[in-house]
Structure 1
Amino acid sequence: MQKTKMIFTIGPASGSEEVLSELIEAGMNVSRHNFSHGDHEEHEKRINMVKKLREKYNKPIAIMLDTKGPEIRTGNFKEDKAELKEGQQFTVYCGEDILGDETKCSITYAELSNDVKKGDSILIDDGLVGLEVESVEANKINCTVKNSGAVGNHKGVNVPGVSISIPAITEKDKDDLKFGCYMEVDMVAASFIRKAADVMAIRKVLEANGGQDIQIFSKIESQEGVDNIDEIIKFSDGIMVARGDMGVEIPIEKVPMIQKFIIEKCNKAGKPVITATQMLDSMIRNPRPTRAEASDIANAIFDGTDAIMLSGESANGKYPVEAAKTMARIAKRAEEQINYDSLLEKKRETHIQNVPNAISLAACTTASELKASAIITATQSGNTARMVSKYRPGCHVIAVTPSGKVARGLALNWGVFPILAKKVESTDEMIDNSVEISLKSGYVKKGDLVIIAAGIPVSYSGTTNMLKVHIVGDILAQGRGSGTRPGYGTAKIVSSPKEADEVVEKDDILVVKDLDKGYINILDRVAGIISEKGGLTSHLAIECLTREIPIICNAGGATEILKTGTFITMDVIRGIVYNGRVNIM
């Protein structure tokens, strides 16, 4: 199963129930709804469709609202657009409503003239036209055109390397966030976050409208955001490396290094990080990606990203489902190349010493050493699963939780597979319930060795303090075991040495009422002995120990519970007899 999470943007190309279903089947963990486009009615329809389908498929798919954010745009032009020539003079009017032409235009942000100085760059329409500031007079910015090109109505304006004082959250954002709370979205991707205060401004709106549990993923799109990344990570639930505007605001050659830098910071902090924008951009038009795009996805995974995202590819491209399937295939193949033991050793170097971290690291280390099939986390808040995910174990992390909100909140944590389960009160019930539902969901099978990490008492959240090695299987009998290795074989229930001599075949497990020394004559045939009575000091038991034959004695009712012909496993360390073949380490 794929560990890297996938976010697909829902738009005109993917807004039908049929295409959405195919995206879910392709592995969608989060549906992204971009509020830079469309109205609330349109988004409500799509969000409700996702909710309907996640119930149908029984998958905890999270819903992400992506804010438009604060932005600067050009005003209107007389002819809707104007052609600018390199070297000519051009004046930008801040906050003044004038019609633009070949010599001037207005912009929506009135204070930009206070933020820029001579030598700064102003980029229009994703940098298609560049201006250099020559002087500032009141609300007028006098510029020289650096490259020829067309400018038009309502085009985006970027000011690379300039700390602008535009508010972090607009009135439209506030309305959209309130709508998101009403629609019970799970996550907000907050655009143009520059500092921790921006995150808190958004959280304040969410909390005021009942959205205190909504996670905030801060989108880093400017140099100021990069400079303040430590404080932004601290106040965010996760980070998105939004390479679109970042590639305009910051010199393009710096973007790959910034991506690695931010991912590493998030990994150390244990916060999920998304790599986004143009990952399969050519598939908006073509049915197959470029080689560079395939490498881009794989390298983001090698860098340590938790999630990868499709934007226009799934929102308005010609091949939304093909793009989703392609992304999944590349991610799966990249994950197969990761050395998880080496990765765990690196994680150990940045380990923070406290009980939850110690238990989470121990769970991953134990899972690695015992070749566990999964780490099962019983979690009320999701914190246990998040902390285990931080250490990037090679096996799957199964998060068993009674809360649908918590399950969806884990949708972007690497390698975590959430399952909904009933709430329990006792530790034993919690362990049994977690293993049983993991088994029913197909994440583990009988005979698997799993690691269980949880917090006790079970009614408290945020208290990861328990670790248990557990074998998934049916326990048939239990007694006192001895030996150096487990026993595997077909059970043969006999009542006497004579009967044993007649029916026991090579590598059978002998099941008897008592350790009669007469069974010594067939020890060379058996793979193990299970007895209802007797002790480890009996003559037969000592002979078994000498020959390194697994033995379990005092296994009450074994001759009645076990059936001749049943394949069983003897765990001599724990003195347990399991039905079928069980992975005993």
Structure 2
Amino acid sequence: MVKRKKTKIVATLGPATSTKAVLKAMLDEGVDVFRINFSHADYKDVEERIIMIRELNAEFGYNAAILGDLQGPKLRVGTMKGEVIVNEGDEIIFATGERFEGTKERVYMTYDKFPQDAKPGERILLDDGKLIFEVISTDLKSEVKARVIQGGPLRSKKGVNLPNTNISQPALTEKDIEDAIFAIKMEVDWMALSFVRHAEDLMQLEELISKHSAHKIPIIAKIEKPEAVENIDKIVAYCDGLMVARGDLGVEIPAEEVPLIQKQLVLRAKQARIPVIIATQMMETMISSLTPTRAEVNDVANSVMDGADAVMLSGETSVGQYPVQVIRQMSNIIKSVEDSALIKVPQMPPHIRTKRYITKSICYHAANMANEIDAKAISTLTNSGYTAFQISAWRPKSHILVFTSNKRILTQLNLLWGVKAFFYDKFVSTDETIEDVNAIACQKGYLKEGDMLVSLAAMPIQEKGMVNTLRITEITRCNFLE
């Protein structure tokens, strides 16, 4: 049987992925989710790509999902006049209000409320932490005076991080609201919110989605602020997935703390039964080189061994020279490590007090039983996708085959570890349904004669209720559907 990877790959769209041929080659090599980065997105381009991806899905039987990633309150400095270099000990003014060209004495800041929020002694980090300033004073209206702690070239439009400042700006900016409404119109499968600090940030986005969409679009909280790490329990209760965005996180907190935080966040997501994506600089050198560094290979492998649902590529596929080859490399790394016995999953049975206790319990036991009897697959019929989330979180050794008549979740579930979804809309007797499902699994190469299969269903099937039945079958013959 062909070895299939279970950890998913998220690839960012950009100029390097603008043709159908490249997108098709990336899908062939193992992309599962395409990310739209709304920090650099042109609506017309985005619409064209989405149409191409959906055509490829329909034509070649892929279920590639589309993730709309909102920029969030990204703070930046303005444009500089010529080359500006600041040195340690220099003083500089960050000014808001009307835009102007910056010099080494005075620079424009896009964040209007900065003078009201800044306090003496707080740090200002620029250009991913390459430049460091300390606030000396603020006039509380339009100017903040700062001293250079670590100098260097001060470049136009570089990002600003304020690790100690309590920012009063909302997580959903006007640009985000506009982008989110466009993403809803394009029926994206997932939406990610940047710089989440509190559960309330997610509630605002959820409200916006329910106002403009008849369907639920699951939300991924991007963890890149120290406050988010502190508030993780509340955040997890209000999101459908996490993204460990290590770029800004490594600027806002000491970089050496990021590896353990990454592990904690993966663990927290698995306990909450929600998917988690590891992002930023995974295969960075492959933007311009055909060979990743050993450290990058290790990074991807370790993220997989931590138990991440997905690993993400940014510049490597959006602007890189080798968008197809980087996917091939990543797929190879994933396949070589993901069956390792070193990968541990927190195996705590579900709590009795939840209203979905029976479904949760069946999913938990299905995953354990599949491991015990060495089942090749767990199959489940679902209308909401709930059982897919539950089974995936237990990380069984078997494949997770999901059959659904709900076309919306076919692509949505493509982000989840180990899950392969199929469209199935014949809800007949249980025996007949399970025979059909087995035949599809055989046809697609997931099962062969002599294999064990764990099947989950909601009885009676026609009612499409909660899963309440677990059945084990040995495949005595591989029937193929007519």
Report the 3-state secondary structure (helix = DSSP H, G, I; strand = E; otherwise coil) of the residue aligned with 2:188.
coil
Alpha-carbon deviations, 1:53-97, whole Å to 9, x = none?
A: 1112101111111112112111233x2552211111111113353
Alpha-carbon separation, structure 2, partners of 1:22 and 1:429: 37
Report the 3-state secondary structure (helix = DSSP H, G, I; strand = E; otherwise coil) of the residue aligned with 2:227.
helix
Query: Quick one: which amino acid aligns to residue 49 of structure 2?
Result: R
445, 449, 458: which one aligns with 1:446: 449
Alpha-carbon separation, structure 2, partners of 1:377 and 1:88: 64
Partner of 2:434: 431
Kept in 2: contact 1:447–1:473 (CA 8 A): yes
Query: Quick one: which amino acid aligns to residue 109 of structure 1?
Result: Y
Alignment CA distance shift 1:304-1:462 (3 Å): farther
Partner of 1:348: 347
Alpha-carbon separation, structure 2, partners of 1:242 and 1:161: 18
1:412 is displaced (CA, Å) by 1.4
Which is worse superposed, 289-298 or 170-179? 170-179
Report the 3-state secondary structure (helix = DSSP H, G, I; strand = E; otherwise coil) of the residue aligned with 1:347.
coil
Partner of 1:377: 380
1:376 is displaced (CA, Å) by 0.8
Alpha-carbon separation, structure 1, partners of 2:464 and 2:178: 33
Alpha-carbon separation, structure 2, partners of 1:214 and 1:224: 25
Report the 3-state secondary structure (helix = DSSP H, G, I; strand = E; otherwise coil) of the residue aligned with 2:434.
helix
Query: Quick one: which amino acid aligns to residue 421 of structure 2?
Result: P
Kept in 2: contact 1:4–1:308 (CA 8 A): yes
Q: TM-score, normalised by structure 1?
A: 0.78
1:461 is displaced (CA, Å) by 4.8
Alpha-carbon separation, structure 2, partners of 1:459 and 1:224: 46
Alpha-carbon separation, structure 2, partners of 1:110 and 1:350: 49
Alpha-carbon separation, structure 2, partners of 1:400 and 1:169: 35
Kept in 1: contact 2:339–2:397 (CA 8 A): no
Asked if 1:172 corresponds to 2:175, the answer is yes
1:468 is displaced (CA, Å) by 0.2
411, 420, 423: which one aligns with 1:417: 420
Partner of 2:65: 62
Asked if 1:391 corresponds to 2:391, the answer is no
User: Relative contact order, CA 8 A, sep 6+: which one is greater?
Assistant: 2
List 4+ stretches of structure 1 deviating above 6 A: none
Alpha-carbon deviations, 1:211-253, whole Å to 9, x = none?
A: 6321111111110111111111111110100111111111111
Report the 3-state secondary structure (helix = DSSP H, G, I; strand = E; otherwise coil) of the residue aligned with 2:383.
coil
Query: Quick one: which amino acid aligns to residue 125 of structure 2?
Result: L
Report the 3-state secondary structure (helix = DSSP H, G, I; strand = E; otherwise coil) of the residue aligned with 1:164.
coil
Alignment CA distance shift 1:457-1:218 (3 Å): same
Query: Quick one: which amino acid aligns to residue 173 of structure 2?
Result: T
Output aligned runs, 1:146-545, within 5 Å: 146-210=149-213, 212-338=215-341, 343=344, 347-349=346-348, 351-353=350-352, 354-461=357-464, 463-474=466-477
Alpha-carbon separation, structure 1, partners of 2:101 and 2:472: 72
Q: In the comparison of the two structures, how many residue pairs are matched?
A: 471
107, 125, 133: which one aligns with 1:105: 107
1:45 is displaced (CA, Å) by 1.0
Report the 3-state secondary structure (helix = DSSP H, G, I; strand = E; otherwise coil) of the residue aligned with 1:424.
coil
Alpha-carbon separation, structure 1, partners of 2:423 and 2:475: 19
Kept in 2: contact 1:82–1:152 (CA 8 A): yes
Kept in 2: contact 1:118–1:135 (CA 8 A): yes
1:358 is displaced (CA, Å) by 1.5
Kept in 2: contact 1:381–1:462 (CA 8 A): no
Alpha-carbon separation, structure 2, partners of 1:130 and 1:212: 44
Partner of 1:88: 90
Kept in 2: contact 1:60–1:404 (CA 8 A): no
Kept in 1: contact 2:7–2:334 (CA 8 A): yes
Report the 3-state secondary structure (helix = DSSP H, G, I; strand = E; otherwise coil) of the residue aligned with 2:346.
helix
Kept in 2: contact 1:81–1:153 (CA 8 A): no
Alpha-carbon deviations, 1:273-322, whole Å to 9, x = none?
A: 00011000010111011010011011111111110011110111111111
Alpha-carbon separation, structure 1, partners of 2:477 and 2:71: 54
Alpha-carbon separation, structure 2, partners of 1:56 and 1:463: 32
Report the 3-state secondary structure (helix = DSSP H, G, I; strand = E; otherwise coil) of the residue aligned with 1:469.
strand
Partner of 1:545: none
Query: Quick one: which amino acid aligns to residue 46 of structure 1?
Result: R
1:99 is displaced (CA, Å) by 3.5
Alignment CA distance shift 1:349-1:219 (3 Å): same
| Structure 2: stretches of 5+ with no match in the other structure | none
Query: Quick one: which amino acid aligns to residue 304 of structure 1?
Result: G
Alpha-carbon separation, structure 2, partners of 1:319 and 1:451: 40
Alpha-carbon separation, structure 2, partners of 1:225 and 1:96: 32
Alpha-carbon deviations, 1:357-397, whole Å to 9, x = none?
A: 21112112221221111111111111112111111111111
Partner of 1:523: none
1:350 is displaced (CA, Å) by 5.2
Kept in 1: contact 2:197–2:228 (CA 8 A): yes
1:404 is displaced (CA, Å) by 2.0
Report the 3-state secondary structure (helix = DSSP H, G, I; strand = E; otherwise coil) of the residue aligned with 1:109.
coil
Report the 3-state secondary structure (helix = DSSP H, G, I; strand = E; otherwise coil) of the residue aligned with 1:308.
strand
Alpha-carbon deviations, 1:134-166, whole Å to 9, x = none?
A: 122223211101122122332211101322111
Output aligned runs, 1:42-57, within 5 Å: 42-57=45-60
Query: Quick one: which amino acid aligns to residue 92 of structure 1?
Result: F
Query: Quick one: which amino acid aligns to residue 43 of structure 1?
Result: V
Alignment CA distance shift 1:462-1:115 (3 Å): farther
Alignment CA distance shift 1:142-1:28 (3 Å): same
Alpha-carbon deviations, 1:479-532, whole Å to 9, x = none?
A: xxxxxxxxxxxxxxxxxxxxxxxxxxxxxxxxxxxxxxxxxxxxxxxxxxxxxx
Q: TM-score, normalised by structure 2?
A: 0.94
Kept in 2: contact 1:96–1:110 (CA 8 A): no
Report the 3-state secondary structure (helix = DSSP H, G, I; strand = E; otherwise coil) of the residue aligned with 2:244.
strand
Alpha-carbon separation, structure 1, partners of 2:276 and 2:444: 27
Asked if 1:126 corresponds to 2:125, the answer is no
Alpha-carbon deviations, 1:530-578, whole Å to 9, x = none?
A: xxxxxxxxxxxxxxxxxxxxxxxxxxxxxxxxxxxxxxxxxxxxxxxxx
Partner of 1:6: 9
Query: Quick one: which amino acid aligns to residue 119 of structure 1?
Result: G
Asked if 1:143 corresponds to 2:142, the answer is no
Alpha-carbon separation, structure 1, partners of 2:282 and 2:44: 29
1:120 is displaced (CA, Å) by 0.9
Alignment CA distance shift 1:129-1:474 (3 Å): closer
Kept in 2: contact 1:278–1:310 (CA 8 A): yes
| Structure 1: stretches of 5+ with no match in the other structure | 476-578, 580-585
Partner of 1:114: 116
Identity %: 38
Kept in 1: contact 2:349–2:361 (CA 8 A): no
1:400 is displaced (CA, Å) by 1.1
Output aligned runs, 1:560-575, within 5 Å: none
Kept in 2: contact 1:134–1:142 (CA 8 A): yes
